[in-house]
Amino acid sequence: MAQRKSQRSPIRASFEFFPPKTPAMEATLWTAIQRLAPLRPDFVSVTYGAGGSTRERTHHTVKRLLAETELKPAAHLTCVDASRAEVDDVVRQYSTTGVRHFVALRGDGQGGAGAAYEAHPEGYRNAVDLTAGIKRIDPDIEVSVSAYPEKHPESPDFATDIDLLKRKVDNGATRAITQFFFDNDLYERFVERVRRAGIYVPIVPGIVPIHDFTKIARFSAATGASIPAWLAERFQGLESDPHTHSHVAAAVCAEQVLDLAERGISDFHFYTMNRADLVYSICHILGLRGEAPAEPVSEAAAA
């Protein structure tokens, strides 16, 4: 692996969490947040479950982040199964609580990722409209949106996808966060297309540390993210060997982010799955430092 001396720009990370369902999951989430917070992420985002199913839990997590940490939370918001008035209410509630950043998404239909999407008759049709709606309510609020280096599975072609991204940016989005990917060349080619289309906002790579290769491979099929053969080979035979699996995962992820950093990328968005272990190691390799822990970090705290 590279022992490179480069002149790269300072690295900035952001972390994505999902709202916990049970008190035990809440404890796990907060252990992860406490471990990752000293790395001073640019922001931390909290996802919004399909059909607004986590509306309250997302809100609770975001409010707790505001009340108990110095972190800057970004609330994910989707258009699914809600009228514009309902979504606007959620935006206003967040805005009153002090949230200054949304990740605006269309979301998926009832069938989940890959199923045909039907907009609510009185709702926002997609993230283009939602971005405009949020900006109408508060023009100063920051809006990030999604981008798909391997194109969205419902999209007929890259041109449609990139046109949609352009409209999201024209409506006020100032950052796109990508779906996860493992082939950096695909990401680079996508960014070139995006720039050729006159889109100049940061296209922040979404990085997924592989806690469970089998699950990621299954999920990838629905999201349109491809699994290169070399990646599958690296995890081959590790289904019942979690220890080696986690070492391989750290090596694979470090390789990916260091390569991206060498290509000039300085912002990374980590899909943490509410676990700090791999993300903390990768950020350390990227040069991000928190305060040295006063006491040895236990395995439970690291995970």
Annotation says 255 is catalytic = no
57/67 Cα distance (integer angstroms): 15
Position among 14, 31, 146, 281 found at the interface with ligand FAD (CB under 6 A): 146
Residue 211, C-beta contacts closer than 8 angstroms, at least 6 positions apart: 246, 249, 273, 275, 278
Closest approach of ligand FAD to the CB of residue 238, in Å:
27
CA torsion angle 77 78 83 85 (round to 10): 20
Closest approach of ligand FAD to the CB of residue 76, in Å:
3
Q: How many residues bind ligand FAD (CB under 6 A)?
A: 23
- Helix/strand/coil for 38: helix
113/200 Cα distance (integer angstroms): 28
Closer by beta carbon to ligand FAD, 102 or else 248: 102
Closest approach of ligand FAD to the CB of residue 244, in Å:
30
Closer by beta carbon to ligand FAD, 54 or else 246: 54
- Which sign does the torsion angle of CA 28, 66, 287, 200 carry? positive
Which span (133-141, 155-163, 236-244, 289-297) binds ligand FAD, by CB under 6 A?
155-163
Position among 9, 53, 110, 160 found at the interface with ligand FAD (CB under 6 A): 160
CA torsion angle 147 149 153 159 (round to 10): 80
What are the C-alpha distances in Å from 265 to residues 21, 58, 203?
A: 34, 29, 9
Site string for ligand FAD, 170-209 (x = CB under 6 A): -------x-x--------------------------x---
Closest approach of ligand FAD to the CB of residue 159, in Å:
10
119/109 Cα distance (integer angstroms): 8
Residues within the interface to ligand FAD (CB under 6 A)? 47-48, 50, 76, 78, 103, 105-108, 113, 126-127, 146, 152, 154-155, 160-161, 164, 177, 179, 206
Active site residues: 16
